[in-house]
Amino acid sequence: MNENDSPVPFELRAINATTIGELLGLTPRSVLETVACRPDFPIRLTMRPATWVAGEVLKWRETNRYGQQARRPRKP
């Protein structure tokens, strides 16, 4: 059985910094050093290895995606 055949929906799975990096377009190191330490980022399920609930990370990504777009200056 591969990952896509899992009976557990992706949103309920525990994901690591590598997977979060793929979702955010960052390296795992950047996830751990600049994103996961933010107070508004979801709480870890485990410390070693560091894992988070996928659905919580996806929700955080959507919430913060809109804020980042609003702050970007537009090029003339």
Mapping DSSP to helix (H, G, I), strand (E, B) and coil, where does residue 58 land? helix
Q: How far apart are CA 32 and CA 27, in angstroms?
A: 9
Q: How far apart are CA 71 and CA 46, in angstroms?
A: 33
Position 36 scores a pLDDT of 97
Q: What is the CATH number of domain 8-71?
A: 1.10.1660
Q: Which amino acid type is present at position 18?
A: T
pLDDT string in tens for the chain (76-residue length): 566 677 899 999 999 999 999 999 999 999 999 999 999 999 999 999 999 999 999 999 999 985 555 445 556 6
Q: How far apart are CA 62 and CA 74, in angstroms?
A: 21
